[in-house]
Amino acid sequence: MHLGEACGSGAVAGVQSAVKDGADVNATNLKMNGKVGGKMPAAYIAAFKGHADVLTALFAVKGFNPDAGNAGNGMTPIYVAAMKGHADCVAVLAGGGADPNIAAKSTTTPAMVCADNGHADCLQELAKAKVKLDVNAKNKKGMTALDKALDGNENEECATVLRGLGGKRAADV
């Protein structure tokens, strides 16, 4: 099984076999759905699909970079896991040293995408990251994660988590 397909299907044994056969876990030209292409490394695929066990297996590979993201949109594995609401994946990535502050090309951070999508459980996992979470980072529109939670979304659960982490509105930063 190809590494990209193994990551997408949640096949830990397939991931381990592909790595043993020399697959590069940080490569971005992985096969998915029978085709080679795309700009997504193994961890991105696993995070997108919600396979925390695959992410754990990837951390065991020497040279694995948990921050290697999608070359097209700049989304990292922790970003896409947060966006999709896969708190177990966010926990594995955050606990393994993935940086929760890397913004996508859109300048939106993982905390902002959690706030946008109502993923308070993912916000809590981001806060446990080995790399300190910057809850007051601003996107290109000058908004913080708390602004994203409250403006248009009215996501009070995320706002409560963010406030507990020291989150502020952009006007107060």
> Are 139 and 63 part of one and the same domain?
no
> Are 80 and 152 part of one and the same domain?
yes
> Are 93 and 21 part of one and the same domain?
no
Domain residue limits at 5: 1-72
* pLDDT 10s digits, 62-97: 999 999 998 889 999 999 999 999 999 999 999 999
Q: Which pTM value belongs to this model?
A: 0.94
> Are 105 and 154 part of one and the same domain?
yes
Average pLDDT estimate for 151-160: 86
Total of domains in the chain: 2
> Are 169 and 148 part of one and the same domain?
yes
* pLDDT 10s digits, 130-144: 999 999 999 999 999
> Are 64 and 109 part of one and the same domain?
no
pLDDT, residue 151, reads: 86
Average pLDDT estimate for 54-65: 97
> Are 149 and 164 part of one and the same domain?
yes
> Are 57 and 123 part of one and the same domain?
no
HEC string of the chain equals CCHHHHHHHCCHHHHHHHHHCCCCCCCCECEECCEECCCECHHHHHHHHCCHHHHHHHHCCCCCCCCCCCCCCCCCHHHHHHHHCCHHHHHHHHHHCCCCCCCCCCCCCHHHHHHHHCCHHHHHHHHCCCCCCCCCCCCCCCCCHHHHHHCCCCCHHHHHHHHHCCCCCHHHC
CA distance 10 to 155: 31
- CATH number, residue 153: 1.25.40.20
* pLDDT 10s digits, 1-36: 788 889 999 999 999 999 999 999 998 766 565 555
pLDDT, residue 35, reads: 55
> Are 48 and 103 part of one and the same domain?
no
Percent of the chain with pLDDT over 90: 82
> Are 30 and 91 part of one and the same domain?
no
